Structure formats: structure tokens, C-alpha cells
Amino acid sequence: MLKYSLEKLFFSNSFCKSNQFRCISHFSASIWDVTSGKHREGDQLNVKGWVKSVRKLKEHAFLEINDGSCNKNLQLVVDKAQLNGAAYGSSVDASGTLGVTPKNQLELKVERLQEFGKCPLSEGYPFYPKKSYPPDYVRNHLHLRPQVSSLASTLRVRHHATKCFNDYLDREGFFQIHTPIITSNDCEGAGEAFLVRPASADLLKQMAKKDVPLDRAYFDRQAYLTVSGQLHLEAMSHGLGKVYTFGPTFRAENSKSPIHLSEFYMLELEEAFMETLEDLTNRIESMIKHVTKSLLDVASEDLAAVRKLTDDSTLEESFSWLDKPYPRITFKEAIHVLEQNKSKLKSVVRPEEGINKEQELFLVSHFQCPLFVIDWPKAIKSFYMRENRTEPALVDAMDFLVPHVGELVGGSVRENEYDRLKAKLPDQEALRWYLELRKFGSVPTAGFGLGLERYLCWVLNVHNIRDVIPFPRWAHNCSM
């Protein structure tokens, strides 16, 4: 009765069905496969990709194609008669034999070329061949942006960085927790939060309850997009021990700043039984160094391709900070350095307001190194930070500052004593659950938040955060 028997289906190979000519002997390969040495001269291959350039000589055409698997192109050598209209921007399916150029590069001597789709430049394609465009222009064409090689490299680096962070934390015994995106707790002040409600007015009416305003009917309460998973993560650390969350976070700010977005990715970590700022800063330093070294191992070509747009240094020079120990200076010491150097600063040093971006960058350049600022004044930090047990005007908090970005990581040891926390809690009713963590089996915990985009801006030397995230959202901007 059935069209296919189980065995036939499972072992059948669709390879030959759709593209008969490939069946002769051509093995489907990515350009990464080819350029990383998986194939050699004489191999019969099928490759597919987008045409990045076309050069025509007497009888042959030379096409550079890229398939997104890496930042390198593969050269196709095609009989002009076989070109079938393939031109810059169009997509092709090519089968042939791998040969070697006079310069000892692999190239595909094409026996058959098919075009999937054309690319009519005259009908509005925004990227002309052999032209380079400024990031602002590229960003105006979000949907076609991955076809620009520097953006594709950036997104591959983003993939690898995400994986390196996850791998490091898994090896270190941390469990990834998906903290909620929609939350009824508004951790750091409603001013910066987005509200969430169903789009359907009918649904809201249907769900209406007495004494609940209609726009809150879906969840029976006000619901926000998360501004931080920290408090939820602290709950998870009480039971799971070492936990982290690595996902989207939101800020409703009217900001045009090149280091702020409305939607960005944050790695937040919480480690149970961690009691000191020194352990916390060691954890951060170790993580940043391990992750960046792994990233250089797997993504150096893409990293170099993006960095070369803004910086002439070699990767070795650019990443010399990997071999340095990072200083820990106190907030008081930081202010002292800034005051000693106030003639070099545009902004006024106001310790009661903390350290602004210009001042952060000055500190990094003064110490010629990423650095930690520890022991912050209690008055300017959050309620959940532990009051220093010997200097009660301070909290056990830290910021980690890096070149050209400023603050990359902020963290603290948390207040784990029930009575002290209760006295400081801003909203007793909404955060009763948070207080209970310190009532039932409380343990010391410490943690931090790291912005993925800021990390990428730093390691890629990209100066606008909108160019390291696939779909940037900021004030007045949410296309697609």
C-alpha cells in the first residue's frame, strides 16, 4: 500500500534524483572542504556558490565563487561557451575536476555549469562588483548584507565566539539555563524595560478578568522583556551550583550610541560557593583568555579579514594582551589616576557618578592593558551586591575594562545574608521569591554579565555595535 518501503527509503540516496549529471562521479564539496585540504588535484567535484568576480580571457572565463562556508573563494575555469550567462552576484552549480593554478592554488576546471539565479544589478542590487562600501551603507541593506564578505566573516566569527564561550563553560562544569525573556520581574527599573502584550484585541477581551486591566489580561499582570537574567540565574544556582545564561537582553533607551542596542546578547554567569572578588576576577580573566585563544584557533582567517579593514597590525600584535596579567585596581585608585590626569580628559571626574566611558578608555590606555576596577562605593551600585564586611561604604563589585569599548563585564559577589538583603530589597512583594533564596539553604554566590557584541567589537576592532549583530535594533530602527 505504501509508496515507499521502509528499507528502500532509508537507504535511498536523493543525490542522483534532482541533478542527474552529478551522478557520474562528482562529489559535493564546500569551498571550506576544498581550501582546507580535504580534496586534491584530480578529484571530481561539485560545488555551488555565488559569483564574486568574473574575468574573461580568449576562450576561458575565470569565476571566483564563494559559498559562505569560509572567507576564501574558489576559482572556476569555464569554457566561455559554457558560461550560460553566469555573472557577478548570480548563483551557480558547477561540476568538474580539481586542478592547480601556476601559483599552486586549487581551481575547478568546470565541465558543466548551471545557473540557479541571476542578479540583475540594474534592478536595484545594492552592491556593485569591485566596489567597497562604508558600513552605514551596507547596514541599510540588512537582508542582502550577508552577501558582503566582511559581514559574512563577522557573522562566522560571532558563531565561533558563541561556541567557544559555550564550550569553555561546559568544560568548567557550568549548565546553560534559558532564563525567561518575558518576565514579571523588572530587575533594574521599569524606565528601561519594554512591555509585552498580545497583538490581538479579541484575545485580550476573551481573557479579561475582573480587577485586571485589559492590557494585562494575558498574564494577569504587567509583563516585560528581560533586562537581565541574573536574579533568575541566582535561583538556579541554588540547586544546580554553576550556571549561566547566554541570550537576548533588552533596553528601551533612546540612544544613538555606537555601543548600545535595544536588543543584544549577554552572557550572565552565577557560581555558587564563590565568596571573593578575587575568585570572580580570576574566573573572568581565565574565561576571556581561554575563549579568545580558542577563537584564534578556529576563526583566525575571518578575524584577520575583518580586522584588516581598520588596522594594519598582525593578529599576533593585536592579541598581545592575551599573554599579559590584568591589573586589579580599586575604584579609589582609579579615581586617583583620573584626577592626576584630569588635564588629558574632556569630562570632569565625579566619583559620586562613577566612571564614564571616556574615563574607562583613559584607564585602559594608562595601564596599556585590559584591567579590573574593584571595590566600588555602595552608594552607586545595586542592592544585590554584597557590602564589604570590613569597609561598609564599599561593595564587592567589579568592572572589567577593555580597549576601544570600555566596560565589557560587570559583576559582584551577591548579598547572601537574609537579614542584610531584606533590609536593602527595593520591592519586597515582587522580589519575595528572591529573598527566599537566602532564607532556605542560602549559599555565597558571585557572578557577572558580559556583552557579546562588545566582546566582538573589541576582538574584531569594529567601532559600531550594529555591525556585529545580524539584525540590529535601536531607537527608530527595527527593519525586517
Which cell numbers hold the place of 106?
Answer: 586549487
- Site size toward its own copies, by CB under 8 A: 143
d(Cα 439, Cα 441) in Å, to the nearest integer? Answer: 6
325 near its own copies, judged by CB under 8 A: yes
d(Cα 360, Cα 380) in Å, to the nearest integer? Answer: 16
191 near its own copies, judged by CB under 8 A: yes
Which stretch, 89-97, 347-355, 400-408, 459-467, contacts its own copies (CB under 8 A)? Answer: 89-97
Q: Which of residues 50-69 bind its own copies (CB under 8 A)?
A: 50, 67-69
Residue span 459-478 as binding mask against its own copies, x where in contact by CB under 8 A, dash where not: ----------xxx-x-xxxx
For cell 565566539, name the residue: 161
Task: For its own copies, give the closer residue by CB, 100 or 322.
Answer: 322
Which cell numbers hold the place of 255?
Answer: 540612544
Residue span 12-51 as binding mask against its own copies, x where in contact by CB under 8 A, dash where not: x-x--xxx----------x-x---------------xxx-
Task: For its own copies, give the closer residue by CB, 103 or 389.
Answer: 389
Task: For its own copies, give the closer residue by CB, 311 or 330.
Answer: 330
161 neighbors 459 (Cβ within 8 angstroms): yes
Torsion from C-alpha of 76, 79, 82, 84, nearest 10 degrees: 70
CB of 435 to its own copies, least distance (A): 10
As a residue count, the chain comes to 480
The Cβ-side half-sphere exposure at 22, using a 13 Å CA radius, reads 18
287 near its own copies, judged by CB under 8 A: no
128 near its own copies, judged by CB under 8 A: no
Task: For its own copies, give the closer residue by CB, 360 or 396.
Answer: 396
CB of 40 to its own copies, least distance (A): 20
CA separation (Å) from 52 to 84, 148, 312?
A: 16, 10, 25
273 near its own copies, judged by CB under 8 A: yes
85 near its own copies, judged by CB under 8 A: no
CB of 210 to its own copies, least distance (A): 13
d(Cα 325, Cα 418) in Å, to the nearest integer? Answer: 36
Report long-range pairs for 235-238 (Cβ below 8 Å, ≥24 apart): 235/433, 235/434, 235/437, 236/175, 236/177, 236/179, 236/270, 237/270, 237/271, 237/272, 237/443, 237/445, 237/447, 238/272, 238/437, 238/441, 238/442, 238/443, 238/445
Q: Which of residues 334-393 bind its own copies (CB under 8 A)?
A: 336
425 near its own copies, judged by CB under 8 A: no
CB of 469 to its own copies, least distance (A): 7
- Tell which one of 53, 62, 111, 252 touches its own copies (CB under 8 A): 252
- Tell which one of 99, 146, 351, 403 touches its own copies (CB under 8 A): 146
Q: Which residues contact 480 (CB under 8 A, 6 or more apart)?
A: 142, 143, 471
- Tell which one of 27, 62, 133, 218 touches its own copies (CB under 8 A): 218
Which cell numbers hold the place of 5?
Answer: 518501503
439 near its own copies, judged by CB under 8 A: yes
